[in-house]
Chains A and B, each alone.
Chain A
């Protein structure tokens, strides 16, 4: 585990450059460039607000904010995985020629998505203001669920990036897993909709606690119970420890399989 920190520190400049490259390539040659990082979530929010605010009337007031408070972290999670699952295989030719710590690629993939995610919080805040929805003081609590989310995502990124080297099927399977996971998580609905009989099943979801933290502080203006905070951070750390250990165990032979 120690290598994770020492290597990340040693390669910080490279990781940062790779993450910026990722973003730059994503927005390059488009007229609006980096503005898309803000415009993309903004337009999505606009669509959701119109659909759920005027066309489909939900019983949940300000449904768009209710939804977005969890949808944005979820989108971060699923996009990060989609990027990082290919991060080792996609850089295979490079790994065969240059000696470089393998972890820089999943970490850089995550970092570029973190930047995107943080940028997407700006249009969310603007939307909250525009709808006249209160900006709760609990927004300042957001760094805590973010930390849990980033740790959890990084662990999953390490895991899938490593497994994908040996079984390329993973990059296809992950799409299915992610969409099942999405509907299994109370993102478009609330856990209250689930009968108490089945609720335990949904509580097995390791992302639930982190996602809850986002919704509570953005939509409800409340802080999660301490046990939920502990759970979200525990899930994050556990994911990172497991994911990185597996990655680290196999990383030496990646170069023979990419």
Chain B
């Protein structure tokens, strides 16, 4: 099955199993979602595995669950902070919400267009100019050519690139690169913005601009999934927070409460969460 790509203009949803309609007031629904990965113990991706199987030797796989039975619903217009230590499943969760991964089991519904800010500049090509990359990246994120043309000037303005826009981006500083990528992804005006700890980059001025734009998104009633290690930002911006620990959702509620729990994991006895 192909997950239908939700375009920017149409309020389409992608659904992993049946089609029953649920409340329209939710923009993201996770229902008992499990994401299992297969870790290969031997050298991967060669014909050796085949030969090993033919000869009766077994290649050992370790299945592990990156997400274990996660259920939550996000109201339209909510900004959700997702906290957790490294490897707790935050990025996996975002990738499922963005439609990159198909969960092993469970049901995911996403109502509306999404723009993933999972890694800034994914899909940028270094030999192409900034302008050419805006087109390519915009198309990759689901815009049409005309929609990109309408936004092009605004994207260039926000990224503060000046006449660098017609130079190949391999000549850009890392700051310019980030500014362009952030500018493209947010100018798309998705209904759901998915942000994965990318805002630690750039100078203070740019960061302020980024947060300004995210706040604007919030005011427009867009939904935001926000992964960050920056507790201060989560406390300030988010309406609600989720805490993931070893693939399990162990806290869901007001940012202040969830942050307290998060700090407990780091400082307090770990036995409490095991």
Interfacial residues, chain A to chain B (CB-CB below 8 A): 3, 7, 10, 13-14, 17-18, 21, 24-25, 28-29, 93-101, 166-169, 248, 251-252, 255-257
Shortest Cβ gap from A182 to chain B (Å): 23
Chain B hits for A169, CB < 8 A: 46-47
**Given A25-B125, A97-B118, A256-B37; 18 other pairs, CB 8 A cutoff:** A17-B139, A21-B132, A24-B132, A25-B127, A28-B127, A95-B100, A96-B95, A96-B122, A98-B123, A98-B140, A99-B3, A99-B98, A99-B116, A100-B140, A167-B45, A251-B2, A255-B100, A257-B45
Interfacial residues, chain B to chain A (CB-CB below 8 A): 1-3, 5, 37-38, 45-47, 50, 95, 98-102, 114, 116, 118-119, 122-123, 125, 127-128, 132, 135-136, 139-141, 144-145, 168
Residues A97 and B100 in contact, CB atoms below 8 Å apart = yes
Shortest Cβ gap from A41 to chain B (Å): 23
Residues A13 and B144 in contact, CB atoms below 8 Å apart = yes
Asked if A17 meets B116 with Cβ closer than 8 Å, knowing A25-B127, A252-B1, A255-B100, the reply is no
**Interface pairs A-B: 8 shortest CB-CB:** A99-B99, A97-B122, A14-B139, A97-B118, A169-B47, A25-B127, A94-B123, A168-B45
Asked if A255 meets B101 with Cβ closer than 8 Å, knowing A3-B2, A7-B2, A168-B45, the reply is yes
Residues A98 and B125 in contact, CB atoms below 8 Å apart = no
Tell which of A10, A24, A99, A248 has the most Cβ of chain B within 10 Å. Answer: A99
* Complex Cα spacing A169 to B98, Å: 31
Chain B hits for A21, CB < 8 A: 125, 128, 132, 136
Residues B2 and A99 in contact, CB atoms below 8 Å apart = no
| Prevailing SS type, chain A contact patch | helix
Chain B residue at minimum C-beta to C-beta distance from A28: B127
Asked if A101 meets B2 with Cβ closer than 8 Å, knowing A167-B46, A169-B46, the reply is yes
Asked if A99 meets B100 with Cβ closer than 8 Å, knowing A10-B5, A257-B45, the reply is yes
Residues A167 and B47 in contact, CB atoms below 8 Å apart = yes
* Complex Cα spacing A252 to B3, Å: 9
Chain A residue at minimum C-beta to C-beta distance from B110: A99
Residues A167 and B50 in contact, CB atoms below 8 Å apart = yes
Chain A hits for B100, CB < 8 A: 95-99, 255
Residues B140 and A94 in contact, CB atoms below 8 Å apart = yes
* Complex Cα spacing A167 to B44, Å: 9
Residues B122 and A25 in contact, CB atoms below 8 Å apart = no
Chain A hits for B135, CB < 8 A: 17
* Complex Cα spacing A241 to B193, Å: 37
Residues A25 and B128 in contact, CB atoms below 8 Å apart = yes
Shortest Cβ gap from B16 to chain A (Å): 11
Chain A hits for B38, CB < 8 A: 256
Chain A hits for B139, CB < 8 A: 13-14, 17
Residues A14 and B140 in contact, CB atoms below 8 Å apart = yes
Residues A98 and B122 in contact, CB atoms below 8 Å apart = yes
Chain A hits for B47, CB < 8 A: 167, 169
Chain A hits for B46, CB < 8 A: 167-169
* Complex Cα spacing A169 to B48, Å: 10
Residues B2 and A98 in contact, CB atoms below 8 Å apart = no
* Complex Cα spacing A10 to B127, Å: 26
Chain A hits for B123, CB < 8 A: 94, 97-98
- Pick 8 A–B contacts, CB within 8 A, sort by A: A24-B132, A25-B125, A28-B168, A97-B119, A98-B98, A99-B5, A166-B45, A168-B45
Tell which of B100, B114, B116, B132 has the most Cβ of chain A within 10 Å. Answer: B100
Residues B116 and A97 in contact, CB atoms below 8 Å apart = yes
Shortest Cβ gap from A178 to chain B (Å): 18
Chain A hits for B119, CB < 8 A: 97
Chain A hits for B145, CB < 8 A: 13
Chain A hits for B114, CB < 8 A: 99
Residues B128 and A100 in contact, CB atoms below 8 Å apart = no
Shortest Cβ gap from B150 to chain A (Å): 14
